[in-house]
Amino acid sequence: MVHFRDGMWLPAKDMWVEYAEEVYEITPRVDGKGLSLLCPTKKILRRGDTLNRSTVTLDINAEADGIISVEATHWAGALNKGPHFELFPHGRPDVQSSIFESDEGTTLTSGSVAATIDPNTFEIRFHSADGAKRLTSLQTRSVGLAYNPAPSTPMQTADMRNLKHYMFTQTTLAVGETVHGLGERFGAFNKVGQSITLWNADGGTSSDQAYKNVSFWLSSKGYGIFIDTPAKVELEVGSERCTRVQTAVEGQRLKWHIIYGPSPKEVLQRYSILTGKPGKVPSWSFGLWLTTSFTTNYDQETVQSFLEGMKARGSPVEVFHYDCFWMKAFTWTSFVFDDDRFPDPKGQIAKLKESGLCKKVCVWINPYIAQQGAAFAEAAEKGYLLKRKNGDVWQWDLWQAGMGLVDFTNPEAVTWYVDNLNKLFDQGVDSIKTDFGERIPTLDVEWHDKSVDPAKMHNYYAFIYNKIVYEALQARYGKNEAVLYARTACAGTQRFPLQWGGDCESTPEAMAESVRGGLGLGLSGFSFWSCDIGGFEGCPPAWIYKRWVAMGLLCSHSRLHGSSSYRVPWVMDDDDQTEEGCSRTLAKWTALKSRLMPYLFAEAQKSVEQGLPLSLRAVLVEFPEDPTSWFLDRQFMVGPNLLAAPVFEESGEVEFYLPQGKWTSYFTGEVRDGPGWFREKHGFGTLPLYVRENTVLVLGSEKAVGAVYDYTEDVEVRLYQVREGAKASLVDTEGNEVGVLEVGSDGKLKDVSVLKGNFAVKEL
């Protein structure tokens, strides 16, 4: 981490720090949508003070309704190399802005949000345009630049090759304010007090490293901050200075956007307008996914036996996934099935689908090309791999021997990679697990596109990698039929779903880590998320497996996956066939998710449109006025109307919180009044799953198998303490709305003509 201060009074060792001390001049933009502030690093009392002094330029611009950007620049002549985030990818909306003077200072409005500059005290206040809500501010000594090591004379800055230059800002934290998001992070849910580096890394789920670093955070005070760079960002969230969030980057510029809500839903919706709405995913992807696991010994017969065993035990598989060793050792990624173990992959995949053992097939890939694999020679010869500065192909032996990295800044390399994907699609592959993409080198490398900064490419590579594969799937199967299983991400990657939680251990603590990771990613603009049910590393005891099954089947997407051990249920407990055994437990939760599909898939469409997480949705999204909701990291919402609390104890004991209102247990029908904390004890077939009052919950037929069926036929409609106007949308398997069920003044459904077959309506 980069520290600029040693306590409140001193600079850190080897640091030279200069702060913007006053607003010397304010220049409005000609179009009235921005202000440029000239800020010297010394108060200017006389003409001589303007000499031998650095300045920071602060550009404050109205970007969209509720969004203002702030850019701090020291030397404007520095190249601003790419890549840059694709902002407003669905089109930039018009913004109503104004600039006016008052006793408070100069104010810029951008729809519902405003910034007021008080040049006398160097305070820039961000607040609602009506002045009713204060958000945060930049105060004295909160904007500046720094050198490391500290130069002894300004003359040394003539040669910057051995000096690091940083820009930083410090936004204020209010009393009791909490901070959330910043991607899929596995530590404490509230980030206040933490030092965080936004730098994608393969660190597992039990460290402060993260696969998915998203430069966006959400505040409990009704706003969010998006840091507009894919470069490494160093954050001190109430840590280096307890009352401020410090944001620092190496370079001459730092830009961020403040996004006003005031509710978390409104903040996330505006963030999705800025960086992109999540992509839609097909209905079949919500069904159960099963993999071969990673280093286990498997072949064509193993796959067949797994799928037959799952069907026989009542947990039919929607998607089967072939993990790494579908290719021969030392060849990843070659795009070629191991012909010793899979002599006829196209034929086997076709037979699996025809027999109904699975509906879709996924395979593992990564952007690394092993030297021994069939693809390496062609990729190296044609310049499709990243190179060192001396012209050599960049290679190392970490992960795959002699592996290179596909240079996706080369359009021809992209075409080649997509051609190889299409060969897999020709064999019947429907989905791709885009693993890795975190270990992207930044030193001694030269990209095909010379305009990019290697340091920015490290995080941004995740965006390019997933975009290319996602769009290849769209081109083959249709716009809304594409789905990934991606491990790495950065801001904007929510457009290419879905993401899963990476390598977790097979422990209850790791399951809790995974929940925190899913909550954080959901508060970073991602609608869909999954994890390795049972844990990836190690072999879970049967009780952990069953508890994780319950949590995992309530995620938006559900996959059984492990490292060196299988995750089919019968290997966990010697094929215990009792009701509390692994097989029956998995069957129950798979069936429950199938029943919930009318609700889940309808809410998925809304989540995409609004930029909200489907599941895991933090309770604070639905109940932002409840202070307790901002600290809940062991439970989550499934859409807006279901609250789930995973069980982390073998005994089945669990403590959970219910916000204001009446809540009905899905399993028992018991009604509890919130707010309050509750304790329960559960077997393996249930957990605290509570339905919010005023909910119209549509459940699929108990006879329905899998995720794809008619969501309007033979359904059960449950009315939970409903009032006039309560609604539920009904969609088809493509996600198109086919009707709405609405409660009338008599407390009953107005019109049920959209429902078919033997449907039932129950009042609870």
Q: Which residues are identified as catalytic? A: 435, 438, 503
User: Are 508 and 648 a contacting pair, CB within 8 Å?
Assistant: yes
Looking at residue 499, what DSSP letter applies?
E
Cα distance between residue 328 and residue 373, in whole Å: 8
CA 78 from centre of chain? 32
User: The dihedral of CA 284, 287, 288, 293: what is its sign?
Assistant: positive
As to burial, measured by CB atoms within 10 angstroms (0-12 exposed, 13-18 middle, 19+ buried), residue 84 is middle
As to burial, measured by CB atoms within 10 angstroms (0-12 exposed, 13-18 middle, 19+ buried), residue 400 is buried
DSSP letter for each residue of 287-321: SEEEE--SSS---HHHHHHHHHHHHHTT---SEEE
Cα distance between residue 115 and residue 103, in whole Å: 14
Question: The tokens of 279 are what?
Answer: 């992509």
User: Are 700 and 583 a contacting pair, CB within 8 Å?
Assistant: no
Q: Which residue has the tokens 């609608």?
A: 527
For residue 58, what are the CA distances in angstroms to 17, 37, 447, 750? 17, 5, 32, 56
Strand blocks (E) in 368-430: 368-369, 404-405
CA 337 from centre of chain? 31
SS3 category, 364: strand
SS3 category, 417: helix
SS3 category, 461: helix
As to burial, measured by CB atoms within 10 angstroms (0-12 exposed, 13-18 middle, 19+ buried), residue 448 is middle
SS3 category, 50: helix
Total residues found in the chain within this entry: 764
Cα distance between residue 502 and residue 512, in whole Å: 14
Instruction: Give phi and psi for 464, each to the nearest 5.
Output: -65, -45
User: Are 562 and 536 a contacting pair, CB within 8 Å?
Assistant: yes
Q: Where are the alpha helices (DSSP H) in 394-447?
A: 411-426
Amino acid identity, residue 267?
V
Instruction: Give phi and psi for 599, each to the nearest 5.
Output: -75, -50
113 HSE (CA, 13 A, CB side): 30
SS3 category, 473: helix
Q: Where are the alpha helices (DSSP H) in 573-638?
A: 582-610, 619-622
Nearest to 71 by CA among 119, 29, 14: 29
